[in-house]
Amino acid sequence: MSALTVDGLHKSGGDREPLVAVTAYDYTFARLADEAGVDILLVGDSLGMVVQGEATTLPVTLDHMVYHTRCVSRGRSRALVVADLPFRAYKASPAQALDSAARLMAEGGCEMVKLEGGRPMVETVAFLQERDIPVMGHLGLTPQSVHQLGGYRVQGRSPDQAAALVEEAMDLERAGARALVLEAVPREVARRVTESVDIPVIGIGAGPDCDGQVLVLQDALGLFEGLQPRFAKRYMDGAGAVRDALGGFCREVRSGAFPADEHSFE
């Protein structure tokens, strides 16, 4: 399977399979996801919650994102690496966004950055695109706006909200966005958004009609036992498996069974 590039991002349908994306935050899991066939490794600011133990994504800094992006980039061989612009790193001005995005690409090694927001971000998307920074948009539930939205709530339920999402998706595409994440919206709204643009729409909690799907790695592997979104699916009981394995290690050390002769140097 050849490496995915920004130009290789595509709409699903016909002979095009849906895009598969997962979040990744370190070398080991990035390598495993890449080998499993994942198309996009998203270094999400969700690391604030699932790696750092924060209540929201808001405390994540640009330095955090550069560090984790660099780790992920070292672990992939073919997947496209996309890095989130964190809350305090792009909203002040397009120039601030450019400086932050340039660090994520030059120091972190990603090929694309993701930013949250619709119409207020159109100028920034155009500014970045004109300066050779590929951008992925993010509409619907935007976690950096959790307090403004009143919590982690489904978006686009009313006709006006749904129409606004469609318009904002088209605005982002016209500004130069190369792809779009659509989070926590009703299936019919996601279908309308997906059909309204020629760039791929990657859903998370947005139903099966998008051009691809993304999950938080810790949710997919059953490693994170905090907030569990309704739309997430666990493909294994990772937390239970880790506890069992480490419990076995504890028992063997305490009983003297580990290390055995084969684990020791002569």
Cβ contacts of residue 127 below 8 Å, gap of 6+?
Answer: 94, 95, 97, 98
Is 209 annotated among the ligand-binding residues?
no
Distance from C-alpha of 73 to C-alpha of 3, rounded to nearest angstrom: 13
Pair of tokens at residue 204: 């998370």
Average pLDDT, the chain: 96
- Give the pLDDT band (50/70/90) at residue 229: confident
pLDDT at 63 over 80: yes
Q: Give the per-residue pLDDT at 76.
A: 96
Residues taking part in catalysis: 183
Phi, psi of 29 (to 5 degrees): -70, -30
Query: Out of 3.30.1330.10, 3.20.20.60, 3.30.365.10, 3.20.20.140, which CATH number does the structure's domain 6-235 have?
Result: 3.20.20.60
Token pair belonging to 256 = 């003297």
264 falls in which pLDDT band (50, 70, 90)? confident
Using pLDDT thresholds of 50, 70 and 90, give the confidence band for residue 260. Answer: confident
Residue 64 predicted with pLDDT over 90: yes
Q: Consult the annotation and say whether 130 binds a ligand.
A: no
Please write the tens of the pLDDT for every residue from 143-160: 999 999 999 999 999 999
State mean pLDDT over 45-61.
Answer: 96
Q: Which of 122, 129, 142, 131 is nearest to 46 (CA)?
A: 142
pLDDT on residue 108:
98
Task: Report how far residue 111's alpha carbon sits from residue 201's, in angstroms, rounded to the nearest whole number.
Answer: 18
99-122 pLDDT per residue, tens: 999 999 999 999 999 999 999 999
For residue 24, which of 135, 140, 138, 109 has the smallest C-alpha distance? 109
Here the tokens at position 157 are: 């339920």
Long-range contact set of residues 109-112: C-beta below 8 Å, sequence gap at least 24: 109/69, 109/70, 109/73, 109/74, 109/81, 110/43, 110/69, 110/73, 110/81, 110/82, 110/83, 111/5, 111/6, 111/80, 111/81, 111/82, 112/6, 112/80, 112/81, 112/82, 112/83, 112/136, 112/178, 112/179
Cis bond upstream, residue 134 (ω within 30): no
- Prediction pTM value: 0.96
State mean pLDDT over 162-181: 98
Is 116 known as a binding-site position?
A: yes
In the chain, where the domains are located = 6-235, 237-266
pLDDT over 70 percentage in the chain: 99
Residue 2 pLDDT class (50, 70, 90 cuts): confident
Report the pLDDT value the prediction gives residue 221, as an integer from 0 to 100.
Answer: 97
- Ligand-binding annotation for 114, yes or no, is yes
Residue 53 — very low, low, confident or very high, per pLDDT cuts 50/70/90? very high
Give dist(CA 155, CA 197) in Å, integer: 19
Q: In the chain, what percentage of residues exceed pLDDT 90?
A: 92
Of 90-104, 158-172, 181-195, 249-263, least confident by mean pLDDT is 249-263
